[in-house]
Structure 1
């Protein structure tokens, strides 16, 4: 799995119906996707934005979203792969 594939898979989880953004740093899905998609675009351009790394940190916004939304185990797999590739 490439870094872009990890990001695409993460995004698919971020748009699941019923996600709970209350414990993340985002107010809602739209805000989360706006930030995430902008960072993914930077990766596509060959950059490695530090902010993207922060999103995947333990207790970071993505983990909080995953835990509160029921996909914590899948997130841990994605985060581990992200760490290997980033």
Structure 2
């Protein structure tokens, strides 16, 4: 996989359309899909994560995507924790060579999360 530039990451998250999905949810789903793309296409070093395999991560991410498509936000706190400093995703990105891209993605996640919280009046970590 070719490492994506900041502008490519932003364009993918902002412009990739999902018919019938609320725009705020779509951005979160696009961010999850982008994390999946990095995990699938770059050999992932899971040494510093709690995951035992790439398959385990992908199953969790696919489940989250399905739940978001159904406007089920019950695992939003789990997803938020994955983007926190020294989190699973950050550790994987550092050890797998895509930490700079992760910084861009995590900032976009933070922005998308704020708009999602406002749109649906959700509670998250402070």
1:4 equivalent in alignment to 2:19: no
Runs of 4+ in 1 over 6 A off after TM superposition: none
1:29 equivalent in alignment to 2:54: yes
| TM-score under structure 2 length normalisation | 0.64
Gaps of 5+ in 1: none
Q: Is the 8 A contact 2:39 2:54 kept in 1?
A: yes
Q: How many residues align?
A: 86
Structure 1 stretch 65-74 or stretch 31-40: which is displaced more?
31-40
Gaps of 5+ in 2: 1-13, 15-26, 114-126
Shift of 1:66: 0.3
Q: 1:69 aligns with which of 89, 96, 104?
A: 96
Q: 2:81 aligns with which of 48, 54, 78?
A: 54
- Alpha-carbon separation, structure 2, partners of 1:56 and 1:37: 16
Q: Which has the higher contact order (CA 8 A, sep 6+)?
A: 1
> What RMSD in Å do the two structures reach over aligned CA positions?
1.2
| TM-score under structure 1 length normalisation | 0.90
